[in-house]
Structure 1
Amino acid sequence: MFESREQAIELAHEMLPEEIIPQVVDLFVPCIGLEPTGEVGANTLGGTRIGGNPDVPEGFEWPQLQFEESDIGGRPIPDLDVENALRSPSVPFIAQVNLAEAHALGAVSADLPAEGRLLFFWDYRIAPWLPVRSAARVIHDTTPVDQLQEATLPDDLRREHEAELQEYLKNFGEPGDLSAFFVPAVGARLYEGITLPPSIHQPELDPPELKNGFAKFREAGFADEVSDYLWEGNPPLADPEWRKYQLLGVPNPVQSDPRYELKEFADLSEVEADPTKWRLLFQFAFEDWNYRIGDWETYFLIRNEALARGDFSDVRTVTQNT
């Protein structure tokens, strides 16, 4: 992801024939990036943060993992202990986004609700492997800030978190403070970025928003030049990793556009999984969130019409790694 429109244009002038730059600029898709501020434990009430615990109203019910035996079906379940996961059913918290901060950026945030916060929850034990909707949750909370309090980590997540820290200490002789169940809070700054996919050499996997534009470059014989440009702007393993935190825009995937994987990963029919009906809501780099687990990236996807209604009750996730 480019960190600004100016950065994207500057690189275009360095790498591309001048005659195609206006057409390349037409392909820019604005997004909202999250840059960690480095303020570990920064818990401005109601503010944007990565990790930690969410700010919630009194009586908040932490999302719980729930699924039927039919959710498993005949799927292979690598390294997955479903019974153990259900003994600790609280879904880990990933990030909190303050929507007023997002709307301060202007038009790029127009499709998001104007008030409150989006709270993202995702379960590493289940979500990458099974199409269990409760393993990934997005909550839109509009409680006034003066009625919020920082949530307490549920007992089951705390138990799993502490057990993982002990196991790490035993195996590597090093203490730690993060696990797959809890990561200390880091404040984050929202900024307007520019997204484009990393390649245009797979027409069948073009982002729906960019199909016509990419076809023109292929027909004009500029596919290689444009692909090199995208590679420089969207490296598969971005450095720093936080450049992969993103709201809206076009997914910046490790593999192909995750919307083309919805049928398999979200267990949807071909009609329901039509990529043109879905868009990216949020993506996060798991290696930045928790470097001990690896270079996973997860994409929260939402139906176009659901986002237009402000309905976050049926968000699906696709997870990729290198």
Structure 2
Amino acid sequence: MFDGLAEATAALANWFDPPRLEQVVEALVPAIIFKPAAPETRRLGDTHIGGVPDVSDEFVWPRPPIPSDPREIAGRANAEMGRELRAHMERDLPYAFIAQVDLQEASTLGEVAEILPSEGRLLFFYDHMTGPWDTGTRAARVIWDTSPAAGLSQARMLSDLAEAAQAELEALADIRHDDEEGTVYGAPQREMKLAATWRLPHPASLDAERLPELRWDASGDESERFREDYEAALVEYHDMYTEEHWRRQQLLGSSEPEQDDPRLDAVVVSKFGVQHLPHELWRENFPRIKAEAETWTLLLQLDISDWMQARFTEGTVYFLIRRSDLEQRRFDEVVAVYQQT
């Protein structure tokens, strides 16, 4: 990731010759990242990850809708996990709170944030238990809160969610590495500041198609060497999996898939009403799915291990939305896609 195109051009010149350098720089994608901020700078309404949101007295902590067929969702997992999923859905627990984004702060970053509202806060929620088996709108909730900052206070976690979190902490006591680790129901609060950046598109992202030599079917020694250099640059500039997982938390921009571009999954569940298409149907419909995917955008990329501050978990959640819905502020249309390697 780079602070600007001039910095990117100078850095990437160490990896690519002039013709390819121009191609790579043109393929860079603007995004907003979360950088750790000093806790003492915190004010109500500021951007943060984990903890609880800052809200008005009228705020109601959201709960996932009760599914019409819990057994069908549970049946997507193995027998043991399916029993856990059914028990979880029967408890009707609230969502876990993920992050709060100060939209006024985002607006100061300029063009990269212009598609977002410029006032209030975005509050992100997710159901970590069912989400991996339930791609779609149910597992995620995004609230655009425009309450005046002067009337905000820290929300109190609902008692049933707090009790579930405590029970999970006790159950995981033997494998926890740190008293500050979170659970699927809640994570430690960390203050963040937003920063604009330019990122190399991940090879599995649709945005990487601007670099034809990254295609799996590109052959020849030159293409192979380019792919090797490109992956080395991804690692060097923190645009691949990094030990500093906070660098993977991202607002807008191009996602860093763990499998395929998650926008493809968003189209499948939205257009076909299924979690996965059979191979033949996927191949037959891929051109249409791909074209539709390009009308979607990443809203938030969540690295679960970093959010939870725990080493015993993995996976990434992508909050995705059609650009037209984002422009119309229809945050109820956000689709959550979970991936893990």
- TM-score (normalised: structure 1): 0.86
| Alpha-carbon displacement from aligned partner over 1:90-122 (angstroms, at most 9, x marks no partner) | 000010000111111111111111111111101
Structure 2 partner of 1:109: 113
Structure 1 partner of 2:32: 32
| Alpha-carbon displacement from aligned partner over 1:252-287 (angstroms, at most 9, x marks no partner) | 1222211122355x3542668831221111101111
Cα distance between partner residues in 2 of 1:152 and 1:44: 17
| Alpha-carbon displacement from aligned partner over 1:151-194 (angstroms, at most 9, x marks no partner) | 10011110011111222225669745522211121101111112
Cα distance between partner residues in 2 of 1:110 and 1:71: 39
SS at match of 1:169: coil
- Does residue 33 of structure 2 align to residue 15 of structure 1? no
Structure 2 partner of 1:56: 55
SS at match of 2:55: strand
| Alpha-carbon displacement from aligned partner over 1:100-145 (angstroms, at most 9, x marks no partner) | 1111111111111111111110111011111352321111111110
Aligned pairs for 1:109-148 within 5 A:
109-131=113-135, 133-148=137-152
Q: CA RMSD in A?
A: 2.8
Cα distance between partner residues in 2 of 1:32 and 1:48: 12
Structure 2 partner of 1:194: 198
Cα distance between partner residues in 2 of 1:129 and 1:118: 25
- Does residue 314 of structure 2 align to residue 315 of structure 1? no
Q: 1:150: Cα distance to partner?
A: 1.0
| Alpha-carbon displacement from aligned partner over 1:42-85 (angstroms, at most 9, x marks no partner) | 75200000001001111211110223333653742242422333
Cα distance between partner residues in 2 of 1:71 and 1:131: 14
Q: Cα–Cα, structure 1 residues 234 and 319, in superposed 2: closer, same or farther, change >3 Å?
A: farther
Q: 1:246: Cα distance to partner?
A: 0.6
Cα distance between partner residues in 2 of 1:233 and 1:129: 33
Structure 1 partner of 2:295: 277
SS at match of 1:134: coil
Calculate percent identity across the aligned residue pairs.
Answer: 31
Q: Cα–Cα, structure 1 residues 244 and 72, in superposed 2: closer, same or farther, change >3 Å?
A: farther
Q: 1:238: Cα distance to partner?
A: 1.4
Contact 1:36 1:188 (C-alpha < 8 Å) held by counterparts? yes
Cα distance between partner residues in 1 of 2:161 and 2:338: 22
Q: Cα–Cα, structure 1 residues 231 and 38, in superposed 2: closer, same or farther, change >3 Å?
A: farther
Structure 1 residue runs without a partner (length 5+): 200-204
Structure 1 partner of 2:156: 152
Q: Cα–Cα, structure 1 residues 138 and 234, in superposed 2: closer, same or farther, change >3 Å?
A: farther
Cα distance between partner residues in 2 of 1:182 and 1:175: 13
Cα distance between partner residues in 2 of 1:216 and 1:229: 11
Cα distance between partner residues in 2 of 1:105 and 1:196: 19
Partner amino acid for 1:59?
Answer: E
Contact 1:169 1:176 (C-alpha < 8 Å) held by counterparts? no
SS at match of 1:153: coil
Cα distance between partner residues in 2 of 1:173 and 1:227: 37
Q: Cα–Cα, structure 1 residues 176 and 48, in superposed 2: closer, same or farther, change >3 Å?
A: closer
SS at match of 1:97: strand
Contact 2:70 2:89 (C-alpha < 8 Å) held by counterparts? no
Greater alpha carbon shift after TM alignment, 163-172 vs 68-77 = 68-77
Partner amino acid for 1:10?
Answer: A
Cα distance between partner residues in 2 of 1:229 and 1:95: 35
SS at match of 2:14: helix
Q: Cα–Cα, structure 1 residues 147 and 176, in superposed 2: closer, same or farther, change >3 Å?
A: closer
Partner amino acid for 1:69?
Answer: S
Q: 1:225: Cα distance to partner?
A: 4.5
- Does residue 305 of structure 2 align to residue 287 of structure 1? yes
Contact 2:317 2:336 (C-alpha < 8 Å) held by counterparts? yes
Contact 1:49 1:187 (C-alpha < 8 Å) held by counterparts? yes
Q: 1:214: Cα distance to partner?
A: 2.2
Contact 1:53 1:151 (C-alpha < 8 Å) held by counterparts? yes
Q: Cα–Cα, structure 1 residues 58 and 230, in superposed 2: closer, same or farther, change >3 Å?
A: farther
Structure 2 partner of 1:202: none
Contact 1:246 1:284 (C-alpha < 8 Å) held by counterparts? yes
Cα distance between partner residues in 1 of 2:250 and 2:89: 28
Cα distance between partner residues in 2 of 1:85 and 1:183: 20
- TM-score (normalised: structure 2): 0.82
